[in-house]
Structure formats: structure tokens, C-alpha cells
Amino acid sequence: MIIFVFSACSDDDGPVLDVVPKIELLGISSDTIVEFEDVLVISIQYSDGDGDIGFEDPDINSIFVRDARLEDYDGFYIGPVAPPDQEIPVTGTLNIEFPALFLFGTGATENTRFYVYLVDRAGNESNEVITQTVTIIRE
């Protein structure tokens, strides 16, 4: 289960933002995680010039995350961060929570990184951010 916590605000008087979303890695909660016990939180900041991040349809994914130990990205739903019928610049933060990371092999530890990007309603892909190495340990 992954939990998202986000905040957004319009930036009416600020600098002009590109309509292609941009994300920045703010950090991770810890670089060492005990499997099945600790929660990893990846915090990103986003900006989008027309505010079209997130979908009303919960079956459409907006954010994509890949554990470096795997080949494929997992997509996750984000609701609209601005009214869908308005084009307003937005900036905000998004916390992505991974409550149950685990080791794939039989060793005592595994190292991984997480790759994250957003797709807006127009289909524009943000840049991709990569976390620092996260060590998952078995206790």
C-alpha cells in the first residue's frame, strides 16, 4: 500500500512556469529501512504552469515509481491538484510513502534506489528524479 500526501498552491504573481511538469527531490525519510517495519517516505516538490497534474478518474495514474531492483514502474493515482477546468500555475509537495519494503533475496541487506516521474493530463512527462541509495535490512 502506498499513501500520498500532497499540498498545492497557485502562484499567480510568481515566475512563469513551464506547462511541462517539473519535479525536484526534497529527500527521503531514511537511508536505512528495516523490512516490513519502517516506512520510507520520498518527498518531492512539483511545479506545473497550467496546473493539470492529477486526474479525476482514479483508474488513471499520474505518478510513476520504480524500485531499482525491478524493471517496471508502478503507477499511482493522484487527484487533481487544481480545478480541472482552470489553467493555473501550481507548485506543491508530494510525499510518497512505502510502508512495507522487503528484501527480495535471502541476504541480510539489499541496496536500492527509487526513480520517480509525473505525467500531467496533457501527457507531458516531468523530469525523473532518483533517490540516494536506500539500504533495506532484515532483523
Buried b (16+ CB within 10 A) or exposed e, 54-70: bbeeeeebbbbbbbeee
Cross-strand partners of 24: 45
Q: In Å, how far from its chain's centre is CA 42? A: 7
CATH code linked to domain 3-137: 2.60.40.10
15 exposure class (CB count in 10 Å sphere: 0-12, 13-18, 19+): exposed
Q: Which three cell numbers stand for residue 78?
A: 493522484
State the pTM of this model.
0.87
Q: Amino acid identity of 57?
A: D
Q: What residues does each domain of the chain span?
A: 3-137
- Tell me what pLDDT residue 11 has: 47
Q: What is the pLDDT of residues 64-106, one digit of tens each?
A: 999 999 999 999 999 999 998 899 999 999 999 999 899 999 9
